[in-house]
Chains A and B, each alone.
With several copies, the nearest count.
Chain A
């Protein structure tokens, strides 16, 4: 299935989890947050919550700033 991951369309296996999306995004182990369709997904639910076709996934991490 296709999802939009940090603004780019990527192909994931049916029912792939948020955790997999995070992995694909190339995020570090820590200091990472995920929002699916604008809603924050707690780290504890990354493995269990499955993604659906066409969802927008934002994977953010810390950068120098402010």
Chain B
């Protein structure tokens, strides 16, 4: 079963960020190992000294490029960055990040909604990085976001999903795909996200900053598949006490 986002279907439910890799080689091999079809990039001032290009890697692998608005603190910045990205990459898609502060990198609900509304009005396909508040998620959905991307814990914290209940509630109430974005630390976190009903997982640091990024990318690919299949398989209920698996016990 494939993931549908804004009318396009994808075989992989894992989206990779390209930040934090030690080298373009490591990035390329990890992207390949992860099986992802979508990779995010940021926009920054031209640096003539920069070696090689993330763009070439993404094109060589035939991935779908998803620009983000990382580092924007206001709707105004985020909207301008999205417009620049549209011009630079000829894509209407944007991973919308509007950050509230630089310690938590948590989204700012008010500015996020403002930017999303503006960009949707301009015809963008908006994938907002949001917190785990189901009410905010519903607002983002109502104004026309193509998905909601709640965090599990702070970006790069590797702390996993700190409030699985909110994610569960958010998923139950969502009418668009839910992508768990930010906080994934290891494979079990990614599997849990899918078991909670998320439609996909977006991660970067857990792979790019792992001791062995390629091995972790492989692990994440399998973990997302495992969690997705486990969700569909229908797990057994949790019990306080035992339930014998051998007759007569």
A/B contact in complex, CB under 8 angstroms:
yes
Range for the number of chain A residues in contact with chain B: 20 to 34
CB <8 Å contact, B44 and A31: no
Contact of B46 among A25, A40, A42, A64 (CB under 8 A): A25
Counting chain B CB atoms within 10 Å of each CB, which of A30, A59, A63 scores highest?
A63
Known: A62-B53, A62-B89, A65-B17. A26 touches B46 (CB 8 A): yes
The answer for the CA separation of A30 and B46 in the assembled complex, in Å, is 12
Q: Is the CB of B45 within 8 A of A58?
A: yes
- Find chain B residues with CB under 8 A from A27 CB: 46
- Contact status A6-B46, CB under 8 Å: yes
For B44, give its contact among A26, A40, A61 (CB under 8 Å).
Answer: A61
Checking A25, A26, A38, A43 against B87 with a beta-carbon cut-off of 8 angstroms, the contacting residue is A43
When distances are taken between beta carbons in the complex, the residues of chain A under 8 Å from B53 are: 28, 31, 62
State how many angstroms separate the Cβ of A62 from the closest Cβ of chain B. Answer: 5
| Residues A65 and B88 in contact, CB atoms below 8 Å apart | no
Cβ-defined contact, B88 with A66, below 8 A: no
Q: Decide if A40 touches B80 in the complex (CB within 8 Å).
A: yes
A36 to chain B, nearest CB (A): 12
Decide if B88 touches A33 in the complex (CB within 8 Å). Answer: yes
A59 touching B45, Cβ below 8 Å = yes
A30 to B91, CA, bound (A): 13
Chain A interface (Cβ < 8 Å from any Cβ of B):
6-7, 25-28, 30-35, 38, 40-43, 58-66
Taking A63-B54, A64-B20, A65-B41 as given, write out 19 further A-B residue pairs in contact, using a Cβ cutoff of 8 Å, ordered by the A residue number. A31-B89, A32-B88, A33-B84, A34-B87, A35-B84, A38-B80, A40-B80, A43-B87, A58-B45, A59-B46, A61-B43, A61-B44, A61-B88, A62-B53, A62-B88, A65-B18, A66-B17, A66-B204, A66-B245
15 inter-chain pairs at a CB distance below 8 angstroms, sorted by A residue, are A26-B46, A28-B46, A33-B87, A34-B87, A38-B80, A40-B80, A41-B87, A60-B44, A61-B46, A61-B88, A63-B42, A63-B54, A64-B247, A65-B246, A65-B247
A-B CB proximity, top 6 nearest: A65-B42, A26-B48, A65-B246, A33-B88, A66-B68, A66-B40
